Amino acid sequence: MTDLFTTPSMRLTQVDAGAIERELARLWSAATKTEQTGGVALMRACVFNLVVLTDAAHVAPVTNIIARLTALRPHRAIVAALDGDDDATAPQPRLEAWVQAHCTLAPPGRPQVCGEQITIMAPRAAGPYIPGIVLSLLEPDVPVVLWWTLDRLPDHALLANLQPVADRLILDTARMPGGVDTLHAVRSLIDAGVAVGDFVWGRLTPWREQIAQLFDAPPALRRLRSIERVTISHVPRGATAALLLVGWIAARLDWRPSKVHHTGAVLSRPDGGSVRIERVEVATETADDLVSAALETTDARFTVTRSATGSHLVACAIIDDLTPIERAVHLPTLDAATLIADELRLAHHDPIYEAALRQALDLAKQQPTPAPE
């Protein structure tokens, strides 16, 4: 983990774009004077704008994530934190703001790379003021990423004002109520032209990699097109992840919905064969989202299972008349900073995620199969 240093926040007495920019100038001027008097050299960097929509209770954890993200991708963060309840009868809303810098502690002889954070605290009634302030504070000529941390679906009025300049919208559908309804809402955003990144999808990356690698060997690859059953086990909060994983498998192998039984869905393969899909809900607290994934043919079984400790995944290929192959791989900790950095590898839309989402929604009518007692 890279060592980080965050400057004390500098609170503003006046909140407007001009006042915020002047405070930022003073912040960097003070840093430059420190450098000139023998301090460590600082390099101010910004490869993208990160606009964060959150609430007042989450400002501190969001700031910690922004600081960690600075070590991966230095940027300008604009945090708009809403406080209190909506109250249309409230007097003229009062805004508060402060600025601070996040710097990596570089080895001797190398400059500290720094990003900056602008935090604006506003009552919920002041929501309509937020887009104008944010737009005036964006660094030009670099991408704009909107990170929606609120537990409810993105407000379309707010998105309508920010969408023209936002290159990506990042959210976490696992945190939002509604399950399948939330996924439908995300698809509506995509259909409207919004490039969406979902933390649920990012956390599935190790699972997708291990499933794909199970079919690298020729004997396994020959059986890929003849899979007859897919079973995904998940904890209750992992229902969205399970749907997206099944959707990804179906989309990559060009399976099409055929019919739904009470025990699962049946999909049609391109060769005319059938694949039964089952999602099994498991009551356990030792797993995060997914427990296991199994793909089966008449003579083979391919599985990826989370270890009891949650520290690694175990991938196993069992093919008749062949020696079973098993490997354990470390399961990395994918915090929000890492997930956002991964999302930035894509400039706009993620066609693989969007195809998986469409397939997942086609399968959403299936109810999870109860776990055997």
CB 77 within 8 A of CB 118: yes
User: Per residue in 309-330, pLDDT tens?
Assistant: 888 999 999 999 889 999 999 9
Mean pLDDT check: name the lowest of 41-45, 233-237, 260-264, 318-322: 260-264
One DSSP character per residue, 153-176 reads PPPHHHHHHHTTT-SEEEE-GGGS
- Rounded to an integer, what distance in angstroms lies between the CA atom of residue 102 and that of residue 258? 53
Q: What is the mean pLDDT of residues 282-311?
A: 88
Question: For 138-159, what is the mean pLDDT?
Answer: 85
Average pLDDT over residues 275-299: 87
pLDDT in tens, 205-236: 999 999 999 999 999 999 999 999 999 999 98
Q: What average pLDDT does the segment 251-263 reach?
A: 79
Q: Report the pLDDT averaged over residues 281-290.
A: 76
**For residues 225 and 330, is the Cβ–Cβ distance under 8 A?**
no
pLDDT at 247 over 90: yes
Q: Is 179 in contact with 240 (CB distance < 8 Å)?
A: yes
CB-neighbour burial class of residue 100 (10 A; exposed 0-12, middle 13-18, buried 19+): buried
pLDDT at 346 over 90: no
- How far is the C-alpha of 266 from the C-alpha of 255, rounded, in Å? 10
C-alpha–C-alpha distance, residues 263 and 260, integer Å: 8
Extended beta strands in 39-185, E state: 42-44, 49-55, 76-83, 96-104, 112-123, 144-148, 168-171
Q: Which residue has the tokens 């649920």?
A: 200
Which of 59-63, 174-178, 292-296, 309-313 has the lowest average pLDDT? 174-178
**Statement: residue 68 has pLDDT above 80:** yes
Q: How many residues does the chain have?
A: 373
Q: Which residue in 115, 84, 71 sits closest to 337, CA to CA?
A: 71
CA nearest to 104, candidates 28, 9, 40? 40
Rounded CA-CA distance 13/256 in Å is 59
Pairing mode of beta strands 49-55, 76-83: parallel
The encoded tokens of residue 332 equal 């990395």
Q: Which of 40, 10, 13 is nearest to 26 (CA)?
A: 10
pLDDT of amino acid 222: 93
User: For residues 328 and 304, is the Cβ–Cβ distance under 8 A?
Assistant: no
Sign, CA dihedral 298-231-205-282, equals: negative
Q: What is the mean pLDDT of residues 300-307?
A: 95
Contacts of residue 134, defined as CB under 8 A and 6 or more positions apart, other chains included, come to: 51, 78, 80, 162
First-residue to last-residue Cα distance in the chain: 43
Stated pTM of the model: 0.86
Please check the confidence at residue 18 and state whether its pLDDT lies above 80. no
Can you give the pLDDT at residue 93? 62
Contact 197, 168 (CB under 8 A): yes
Closest C-alpha to 279, from 264, 298, 301: 264
Residue 25: how many other CB atoms lie within 10 Å = 11
CA angle 100/168/345 to nearest 5° reads 85
Top CATH class of 203-370 equals: alpha beta
Query: Would the pLDDT of 1 be above 50?
Result: no
CA distances from 248 to 223, 242, 245, 255, 352 (A): 18, 10, 5, 10, 8
Side-chain half-sphere exposure of 264, counting CA atoms within 13 A? 21
Domain with CATH 3.30.360.10 in the chain: 203-370
What mean pLDDT, rounded, does the chain reach?
84
